[in-house]
């Protein structure tokens, strides 16, 4: 498989979850074993020599890619979740979405000060979710090596909220 072919594995769903939104559905990509393996192979190649201590996956689709990548790299996996889902002490950050607001939490003991972290999610849209996760990781002492997404909706300019952070995306929609 080639990187250019990966875009064809993403299903476009118009008017979901609300009218006017073109939803980029990665379930068709992860349902294709070759495509899913290709994504994880590409991420592994990118980070295998970067001395990464933790992968942070964002609820919920970031768990899919983040867990597989952490396993491949042999490093720890940390989850950023919606409120009320984590049982121990947490930090939290609220943010705006394209169509609402949300909050994420992370365990305060999940990353040690100075550990190198890659934050991963399936999609970068307006950048609120990733910016909130970045704040959480840094607040508990993590050093962000990079932010990685499978899909970037370039026209929404989410990178603007992630200034001064290294960013990697596999598929871009202009």
pLDDT per position as a tens digit, 24-71:
999 999 999 999 999 999 999 999 999 999 999 999 999 999 999 999
Spatial CB neighbours of 39, under 8 Å, sequence gap ≥ 6: 6, 29, 65, 150, 170
User: Domain residues for 149?
Assistant: 50-173
For residue 98, pLDDT beyond 80 = no
pLDDT score for 139: 97
Within-domain flag for 117: yes
Span 123-143, mean pLDDT?
96
In three-state secondary structure terms, 113 is coil
Catalytic-residue membership of 51: no
CATH code where residue 108 lies: 3.40.50.2020
- With a cut of 90, say whether residue 4 has pLDDT above it: no
Options 54, 61, 81, 93, the catalytic residue:
61
Number of domains in the chain: 1
Give how far Cα 115 sits from Cα of 12, 53, 83, 124, 155, Å: 37, 6, 24, 24, 32
pTM: 0.95
> Sign of torsion, CA 129 59 65 15?
negative
93 given a catalytic annotation: no
- Whole-number CA gyration radius for the chain: 15
In a domain, 5, yes or no: no
- Which is the catalytic residue, given 59, 91, 92, 98? 98
């Amino acid at each position: 498989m080639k990187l250019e072919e990966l875009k064809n594995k993403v299903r476009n769903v118009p008017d979901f979850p609300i009218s006017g939104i073109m939803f980029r559905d990665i379930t068709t990509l992860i349902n294709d074993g070759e495509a899913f393996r290709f994504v994880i192979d590409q991420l592994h190649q990118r980070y295998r020599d970067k001395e990464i201590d933790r992968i942070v996956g964002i609820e919920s689709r970031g768990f899919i890619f983040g867990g597989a990548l952490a396993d491949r790299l042999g490093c720890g996996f940390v989850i950023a979740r919606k409120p009320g889902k984590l049982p121990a002490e947490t930090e939290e950050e609220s943010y705006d979405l394209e169509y609402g607001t949300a909050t994420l939490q992370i365990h305060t003991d999940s990353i040690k000060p100075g550990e190198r972290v890659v934050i991963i999610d399936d999609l970068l849209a307006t950048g609120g979710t990733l910016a909130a996760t970045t704040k959480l990781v840094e607040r508990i002492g993590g050093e962000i090596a990079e932010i990685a997404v499978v899909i970037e909706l370039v026209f929404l300019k989410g990178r603007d909220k992630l200034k001064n952070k290294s960013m990697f995306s596999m598929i871009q929609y202009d």
